[in-house]
Amino acid sequence: MNINKSVLFLTKKSYPFGLFETKLFLAMSFPNQLQSKPNSVFYIGFLIFVVLNLITASFMGLHFDEAYYWLYSQNPALGYFDHPPMIAWMIKAGETLLPNKLGLRLMTILFSSVSILVLWQLSKKFSNNALLFWAVVYSTILIHPYTFLATPDAPLFLGTVLFFFFYSRYLSSDKLINCIALGASIALLIYSKYHGVLVVGFVTLSNIKLMGKRSFWMVAITAILFLLPHIWWQYSHHFPTLQYHLVDSHKTVYRYQITLKYIYSELAATGPWLGWLFLFAMLKTNYSNKFDLGLKTLGIGTFAFFLLSTSGGDFEAHWTLIAFVPLILLSIKYIEEHQKWKKWVLISGTINFTFLLIARILIITPLGDNIKALGMFKGWDKDSKEIRTLAGDTPIVFQDSWYRAARFAYYTNDKKVTNLNSGVYRRNQFDLYDTDEDLTGKTVYVLTSDSTQFDQYDIFRTSKSVWYAQKTENFRSFYNLKFKKEGEFKFKNGELLCPVSVENVYPENISLNNACFELYHRYGPKWKVIASTPLRTITIQQGESYFESASFNVSAEELKSDQIFVTFRVGKLKPIPGRIAVTLSNLD
Same domain? For 239 and 217 the reply is yes
Q: CA-CA distance, 436 to 307, in Å (whole number)? A: 39
Residues 319 and 343 in one domain: yes
Task: Evaluate the omega torsion of the peptide bond into residue 326 and state whether it is cis, within 30 degrees of 0.
Answer: no
Q: Is 398 helix (H, G, I), strand (E, B) or coil?
A: strand
Q: Give dist(CA 369, CA 374) in Å, integer.
A: 8
Q: In terms of domains, do 136 and 185 share one?
A: yes
Contact between 494 and 553 under an 8 Å Cβ cutoff? The reply is: yes
Asked whether residue 373 is assigned to any structural domain, the reply reads no
Query: pLDDT tens, 384-409?
Result: 999 999 999 999 999 999 999 999 99
Q: What is the percent of the chain where pLDDT is above 70?
A: 92
- Check: CB of residue 447 under 8 Å from CB of residue 461: no
Do 451 and 531 lie in one domain? The reply is no
Q: Identify the pLDDT of residue 512.
A: 94
The pLDDT of residue 523 is 83
Does residue 100 belong to any structural domain of this protein? yes
The pLDDT assigned to 550 comes to 94
Residue 488 in any domain: the answer is yes
Q: How confident is the model at residue 249 (pLDDT cuts 50, 70, 90)?
A: low
Residue 426, pLDDT > 70, answer yes
For residues 25 and 64, membership in a common domain is answered with yes
For residue 555, pLDDT over 80 is answered with: yes
| pTM, rounded to two decimals | 0.90
Same domain, 419 and 561: no
> Which of 335, 364, 393 corresponds to the end of one domain?
364
User: What pLDDT score does 109 carry?
Assistant: 98
Cβ atoms 326, 292 nearer than 8 A: no
**Domain end among 472, 501, 529:** 472
Which of 472, 501, 531 represents a domain boundary (last residue)?
472
Q: In terms of Cα–Cα distance, which of 442, 430, 375, 429 is closest to 399?
A: 430
- Is 369 contained in some domain? no
Q: Cβ distance 402 to 388 under 8 Å? A: no
The mean pLDDT value for 65-94 works out to: 96
Number of domains present in the structure of the chain: 3
How is residue 61 annotated by DSSP?
P
Domain holding 51, by residue range, is: 18-364
Burial of residue 569, with CB atoms counted within 10 A of its CB: 0-12 exposed, 13-18 middle, 19 or more buried: buried
Please give the Cα distance from 258 to 315 (Å, whole number).
8
Same domain, 264 and 117: yes
The reply to whether 464 and 497 lie within a common domain is no
If phi over 0 gives left and psi between -120 and 50 gives alpha, with beta otherwise, what is residue 434?
A: left
Q: Is 102 found in the same domain as 62?
A: yes
Residues 468, 559, single domain; the answer is: no
Q: Decide if 7 is inside a domain.
A: no
Q: Given pLDDT bands bounded at 50, 70 and 90, which one contains residue 254?
A: confident
CATH number (domain holding residue 536): 2.60.40.1710
The mean predicted confidence, pLDDT, of the chain is 91
On whether residue 6 sits in a domain, the answer given is no
In a domain, 9, yes or no: no
Give the per-residue pLDDT at 8. 37
pLDDT in the model for residue 583: 83
Q: Which among 292, 294, 302 has a CA at the least distance from the CA of 323? A: 302
In a shared domain, residues 64 and 196: yes
Identify whether 588 is part of a domain: no
pLDDT at position 2: 42
221 shares its domain with 355: yes
